[in-house]
């Protein structure tokens, strides 16, 4: 009886300690959650803490939808930790990846500033923690801190330029060319030397298709053609590109 009571007591102590650690972790996110956000790089720690108190903190699992198209919400999201993907659609059913955002980035500001509903889907690629700020508090913050407003304008200008380039790629290039261009984007020089480029780890066909705005069949056909012509080869979980210039030529670059 005594040993059972002692075991129960130890279990209760363990549960209390686990809860304490979770609460401390939650506090760490709250107190330092915005420290890595580039938008707030010129803000003092005191002001940053006041801004943090305007956020609520949310955690998302991999592949969980954070925002969806036509969502009427107007919050702005700050990525305290993790990685997300911004998606849209060609037609009604083909998803296209527009961008990926990581720790330090933010999204959702266009819906907060403008009158339109959400125009893109945002999903978590890995476990992700975000701070969510209501629209009214976000707009009030922009008025209170001109340096944040100026930084936001710089970032929006970059986003618009990047999206124009992305739309041009999707609309003017043929599907096979877009696959080749995506392979070039993913490839880096092989650290082992030689005139070889490598994609490692090799993403699945669905990811490549999403970035290129094509279906998986097109991706498989493009990689198969390059492999048969010895332009690239699959090795374990990587792709080795032996003739990068040929892929550049095929992509129309």
Tokens of 132: 């969510």
Residue position matching structure tokens 């009030």: 140
pLDDT of 4 reads 52
Quickly tell me which residue has 């889907």 as its tokens.
121
Would you state the pLDDT for residue 28?
43
For residues 139, 155, 131 and 85, what is the CA-based torsion angle, rounded to 10 degrees? 130
Per-residue confidence (pLDDT) for residue 119, from 0 to 100 = 80
Nearest to 117 by CA among 178, 68, 51, 180: 68
CATH of 33-171, one of 2.102.10.10, 3.40.50.150, 3.40.630.10, 2.60.120.10: 2.60.120.10
Under-70 pLDDT residues of the chain: 1-31, 90-93, 253
Residue 93 pLDDT = 65
Helical axes 175-186 vs 216-228, angle rounded to 10°:
70
> What pLDDT shows up at residue 6?
52
Give the CATH number of domain 175-251.
1.10.10.10
Burial class (CB in 10 A: 0-12, 13-18, 19+), 185: exposed
Give the Cα separation of 25 and 121 in Å (integer).
Answer: 29
């Amino acid at each position: 009886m005594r040993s059972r009571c002692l075991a129960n007591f130890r279990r209760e102590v363990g549960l209390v300690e686990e809860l304490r650690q979770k609460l401390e972790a939650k506090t760490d996110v709250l107190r330092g959650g915005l420290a890595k956000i580039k938008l707030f790089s010129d803000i003092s720690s005191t002001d940053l803490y006041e801004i943090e108190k305007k956020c609520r903190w949310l955690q998302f699992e991999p592949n969980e939808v954070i925002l969806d198209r036509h969502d009427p919400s107007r919050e702005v999201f700050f990525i305290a930790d993790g990685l997300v993907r911004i998606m849209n659609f060609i037609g009604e059913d083909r998803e296209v990846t527009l961008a990926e955002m990581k720790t330090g980035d933010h999204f959702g500001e266009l819906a907060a500033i403008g009158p339109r509903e959400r125009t893109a889907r945002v999903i978590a690629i890995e476990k992700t923690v975000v701070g969510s700020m209501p629209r009214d508090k976000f707009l009030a913050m922009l008025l209170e801190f001109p340096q944040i407003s100026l930084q936001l304008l710089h970032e929006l200008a970059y986003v618009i330029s990047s999206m124009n380039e992305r739309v041009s790629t999707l609309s003017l290039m043929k599907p096979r060319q877009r696959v080749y261009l995506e392979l070039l984007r993913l490839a880096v020089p092989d650290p082992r030397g030689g005139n070889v480029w490598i994609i490692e780890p090799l993403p699945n066909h669905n990811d490549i298709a999403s970035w290129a705005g094509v279906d998986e069949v097109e991706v498989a056909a493009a990689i198969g053609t390059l492999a048969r012509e010895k332009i690239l080869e699959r090795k374990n979980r990587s792709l080795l590109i032996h003739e990068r210039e040929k892929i550049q030529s095929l992509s129309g670059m």
